[in-house]
Chains A and B, each alone.
Chain A
Amino acid sequence: MIKDKDQVPPLMAFFLISAAQIGVGVLSFTSVINKYAGHDAWMSIIAAGMFIHLLIWIMYKVLNDYKGEDFASIHRSIYGKWIGAFISIVLSVYLLLLAAVVLRSYLEIIQVWMFPEVKIWALLLLIMPLIYYIISGKFRIVVGVCFLGIVYPFVLIFALIFPLKFSNITNIMPIFDHSLLEIVQSSVLAMFSFLGIGALMIYYPFIKDSRNSQKYAHYGNLYTTILYVVICFVSYIYYSQHEIKDVIWPTLGLWKIVELPFLDRFEYIGISTLFFVILPNLALYIWGSSRTLNRALHIPQKWISIFILTAVYFICIFVEGREKILQVSDFSTKIGFGLLFYIPVLFVMHFISRKVKRNAS
């Protein structure tokens, strides 16, 4: 059982869900999801968001049945010791990889936009102790970082007003110019931006009165969806579809038009503030990864986190250049996608195992 002082109020589910979803992808997803649906892709985000709502609902359905248990122990009780441990390891490896991808993509942005000459290996030495410091201080600190990760970057929303002056609403007209199939295909791509909700199954026992946190989790997902739709909408009326396909980070491109009397390049403020967006990602994923391994293999969390941080460190160093970063991030999103669709499977398995157990007794 988790101690009372280690638990967090149900409201924090809001911050945990959306802080895990919003990552560096927010800078680039608009030029990815339009592959099929073109200028109608902003509708795909709504579709993807609704699907994620369904998955959150399913996860709560399963989790509420197991009082105070998490991913590792649920899997042990459904599949038994070995298969359960194996799935837990897959999840933690995936979270590790995701953390590495997020961190590496952020460092890439620093390299391209701010300091091309920066030594990545040395810069990582600055970030790693910070993450270790956060995750070694119990779950409450991780939640605190998630809270800040939503609150601080919120002001960046106001920077989206500037591009509107140079936007043409005709860029997204005519609405519904693409078939329903194309919109659904794009919404599959849009779902990559919503990854990270799986961590809910790990921190669920840490939420006080966790049953009541469900509505906050849905609000969190709703917040992410609205934020994405707003960003997507502004991007699509600012860029034409021909223009956006050549841009790697369209959201940063939106900030290029911002001109303030005391500041010429707003992107620098934006990129620095984005560190507060990726920090909860890193902290939560690495904490989740180490926690799952700890629960599955019973190794002290301290040593696991040091091992995971070392792994993340070396992945970040060895993955260099745009293509390799893309390959690794594609690979990790594919696993993530598999895990998303594993959630309904888990739901079914949960009911089967309950039936079987009930019959046995």
Chain B
Amino acid sequence: MPRRYIIFFILIFVSVTVNFTMPKRVIDKIQMVTVVGYDYVDDNTINGTVITPTFLQKGQIMDLVYTGNASMVYDLGTKLNTVASENLENGKLEVVVFNKELAEHGIKNYIDFLLREPSIGSGLYLAVSEGSTNELLNSVKSHKGAGVYLSDLIEHNIQRQKHPETNLKTFSYSIECETCDPFLPYFKIVDGKPKIDAIALFKKDKYLDKIPIDEAFVFNILLGDMDNGDFILEKKGYKAAIQNIDSERKIIVNQHNENMSLQVNIDVKGVIREYTGKRVLHDKEKIEKDLERELNKKAKEMIKNFQEKNIDPLGIKEIIRSKVRDLSVKQINDTYPSISISTDITYTNMESGTRR
């Protein structure tokens, strides 16, 4: 009996001692990268900006910024390690920003590392910046550190449904999927601060166009079921601010012989938050009508715009694929620009705040 335990002890001892020499990652001896920005230099080179926060004392963070050129994302990390005083680790990466020029050339190659690396989560935010990302990241002045600041900025906009749901997962999903195209938040420096200025539209992995963030409401309700978001209706005689509390999207696919037509039905239930006319109670029907007309017009324009550019950020083709059995993906992609899509948005006002 004791002999068995002695052998056990020796084996365990050997095992622990041998693996004790493994490289350790003690929190004081590494630098956690929170945000990375990539700029286009030429087809083979990117300029990367890496920000890691250093804790000075309680509540105080200093951002260390490293920049360098490299051909690949991983390569950038190894190159910047020769500058950094501690090893750079990706485990806390929250935001990755690409500048517009790089995004126009396609970013598929640059997200491969993010998907391959086990220590990087799928909840990571990707974004596009209008100018250089270096400037964008340096423009953040906050005690939180640039990474957490940008991540919080995107997160609360998604929660309030100003910007549609986006992260690394949804982006890679849309790139891999044969029928859909991705979108990302589009940053711009306004008055020295980063601002989500638009929704960047992609054709596969290449940046193509953007829609201003003010029109995100229409984009959102076309994209799927929402329970938040704001819309400002400006008409002759009155203005009204409307908050969406519940919207449902239904897409009906009608197929007659070779012709396919789509009907997008959206039911919006909302609350009037601000009104400059007389009484909401009195004008309720007028507001509803005006709003429906406005939303329908904008939705139609938006869909038409997407069809002309042959991109599908709304996932309409995916709906067709899931509903119509005997259509190949190629057929769907071919017919998409010419499908007639009609919209029917209805608005019901539920409440008007504390006043009539």
| Chain A positions 188-212 with a Cβ under 8 Å from a chain B Cβ | none
Residue of B12, B23, B169, B321 contacting most chain A CB atoms (<10 Å): B169
Would you call B15 and A122 a contact (CB within 8 A)?
yes
Whether A317 sits at the interface, judged by CB under 8 Å, is no
Q: Indicate with 1 or 0, residue by residue over A214-243, a CB within 8 angstroms of chain B CB atoms.
A: 000000000000000000000000011011
B254 at the interface (CB under 8 A from A): no
Whether a CB of chain A sits under 8 angstroms from the CB of B337 is no
Bound Cα distance A38, B356 (Å): 56
Contact check: which of B167, B173, B319 meets A243 at CB < 8 Å?
B173
Tell me the residues in window 167-183 of chain A with beta carbons closer than 8 Å to chain B beta carbons: 168, 170-171, 173-174, 177
A65 adjacent to chain B (CB < 8 Å) = no
Distance A281 CA – B12 CA, assembled complex (angstroms): 22
Per-residue CB contact flags for chain A residues 94-138 toward chain B (1 = under 8 Å, else 0) read 000000000000000000111101110111111011000100000
Nearest-CB residue, chain A, relative to B18: A122
Residues of A within 8 A of B16 (CB): 126
- In the assembled complex, the Cα of A59 lies from the Cα of B287 at a distance in Å of 73
B18 to chain A, nearest CB (A): 4
Nearest CB in chain B to that of A174: its residue: B325
Across the interface, name the chain A residue whose C-beta is closest to B180: A240
Check B323–A174 contact: CB distance below 8 A: yes
Is B192's beta carbon under 8 Å from chain A? no
Residues in chain B near residue A125, CB distance under 8 A? 11-12, 14-15
Tell me if A320 counts as interface (CB < 8 A to partner B).
Answer: no
Q: Please tell me the size bucket of the interface on A.
A: 35 or more
Stretch with Cβ within 8 A of B (4 or more), from A9-17, A45-53, A75-83, A252-260: A252-260
Q: Is the CB of B119 within 8 A of A118?
A: no
B11 touches A119 (CB 8 A): no
Q: How far, in whole Å, are A261 and B95 apart by their CA atoms in the complex? A: 17
Is the pair A174, B122 in contact by a Cβ cutoff of 8 Å? no
Contacting residues of chain A (241-270) with chain B, CB-CB under 8 angstroms: 242-243, 246, 253, 256-257, 259, 264-265, 267
Q: B91 contacts the other chain (Cβ, under 8 Å)?
A: yes
In the complex, the chain B residue whose C-beta lies closest to that of A39 is B322
Q: How far is the CA of A256 from the CA of B318 in the complex (A)?
A: 24
B287-311 contact mask (Cβ, 8 Å, vs A): 1 or 0: 0000000000000000000000000
- Chain B residues closer than 8 Å to A168, beta-carbon distance: 315, 318
A128–B177 touching, CB < 8 Å:
no
Which of A115, A123, A129 meets B8, CB within 8 Å? A129
B250 to chain A, nearest CB (A): 13
Q: How far is the CA of A259 from the CA of B22 in the complex (A)?
A: 28
Q: Evaluate contact between A243 and B176: CB separation under 8 angstroms.
A: yes
> Is A112's CB under 8 angstroms from B118's CB?
yes
Whether A166 is near chain B, meaning CB under 8 Å from some CB there, is yes
Q: Which residues of A contact B178 (CB under 8 A)?
A: 242
- Which of B7, B15, B322 is close to A123, meaning CB atoms less than 8 Å apart? B15
B22: A residues at CB distance < 8 A: 115, 117-119
Given A240-B177, A264-B92, A265-B91, does the pair A173, B322 have CB atoms closer than 8 Å?
A: yes
Counting CB contacts under 8 A, is B170 at the interface?
yes
In the complex, chain B residues whose CB is within 8 Å of the CB of A259: 121, 123
Q: How many A-B residue pairs have CB under 8 A?
A: 85
Checking B11, B119, B176, B322 against A129 with a beta-carbon cut-off of 8 angstroms, the contacting residue is B11
- Contact A117 B91, beta carbon cutoff 8 Å: no
What is the CB-to-nearest-CB distance from B35 to chain A, in angstroms, rounded to a whole number? 15
CA distance A273 to B16 in the complex (A): 20
* Cβ contact of B173, chosen from A115, A117, A177, A239, cutoff 8 A: A239
* B172 part of interface (Cβ distance < 8 Å): yes
Are B176 and A242 in contact, CB atoms less than 8 angstroms apart? Answer: yes
- A contact residues around B321 at 8 Å (CB): 170, 173
CB distance from A163 to the nearest CB of B (A): 9
In the assembled complex, the CB of A158 is this many whole angstroms from the nearest CB of chain B, namely 18
Instruction: Give CA–CA (A125, B19) in the complex, Å.
Output: 11
Contact check, A257 vs B169: say whether CB atoms are below 8 A apart.
yes
User: Once the chains bind, are B8 and A133 in contact (CB under 8 Å)?
Assistant: yes
Residues of B within 8 A of A173 (CB): 321-323
Contacting B122 at CB < 8 Å: which of A117, A119, A124, A253? Answer: A253
- The docked-state distance in angstroms from the alpha carbon of A256 to that of B121 is 5
- A257–B122 touching, CB < 8 Å: yes
- A112 surroundings in chain B (CB, below 8 A): 118
Interface pair B325/A243, CB less than 8 Å apart: no
The answer to whether residues A123 and B118 also contact, given A242-B178, A257-B123 and a CB cut-off of 8 A, is: no
B residues in contact with A240, CB < 8 Å: 173, 176-177
Q: In the complex, which residues of chain B have a beta carbon less than 8 angstroms from the beta carbon of A177?
A: 325
Q: How far is the CB of B117 from the nearest CB of chain A, in Å?
A: 10
Bound-state CA distance A171–B315 (Å) is: 11
Contacts of B172 in A (CB 8 A): 243
B227 to chain A, nearest CB (A): 13
A289 to B18, CA, bound (A): 30
Contacts of B323 in A (CB 8 A): 173-174
Known A117-B23, A265-B91; contact A257-B173, beta-carbon cutoff 8 A: no
The one of B121, B173, B177, B319 in contact with A264, judged by C-beta atoms closer than 8 angstroms, is B121
Q: Are A166 and B169 in contact (CB under 8 A)?
A: yes
Tell me, rounded to whole Å, the shortest Cβ–Cβ distance linking A24 to chain B: 16
In the complex, which residues of chain A have a beta carbon less than 8 angstroms from the beta carbon of B322?
A: 170-171, 173-174
Q: Which residues of A contact B18 (CB under 8 A)?
A: 119, 121-122
Q: Which of B16, B91, B121, B318 has the most CB of A within 10 A?
A: B121
Query: Could you tell me the distance in whole angstroms from the C-beta of A49 to the nearest C-beta in chain B?
Result: 26
- Which residues of B sit under 8 angstroms from A133, Cβ to Cβ? 8
Shortest C-beta distance, B265 to chain A (Å), equals 17
**A114 neighbours in B (Cβ, 8 Å):** 118
Give A259 Cβ to nearest chain B Cβ, in Å.
Answer: 5
A: which residues have CB within 8 A of B?
Answer: 112-115, 117-119, 121-126, 128-129, 133, 166, 168, 170-171, 173-174, 177, 239-240, 242-243, 246, 253, 256-257, 259, 264-265, 267
8 CB-based A-B contacts, threshold 8 Å? A117-B22, A118-B22, A129-B7, A129-B8, A174-B324, A253-B122, A256-B169, A264-B92
A121-B18, A129-B7 known, 17 other contacts, Cβ within 8 Å: A112-B118, A114-B118, A118-B19, A119-B19, A122-B18, A122-B19, A125-B12, A125-B15, A166-B169, A168-B318, A170-B318, A171-B322, A242-B176, A242-B178, A246-B176, A257-B169, A267-B118
Q: Give 3 closest A-B pairs by Cβ, nearest first.
A: A173-B322, A122-B18, A170-B322
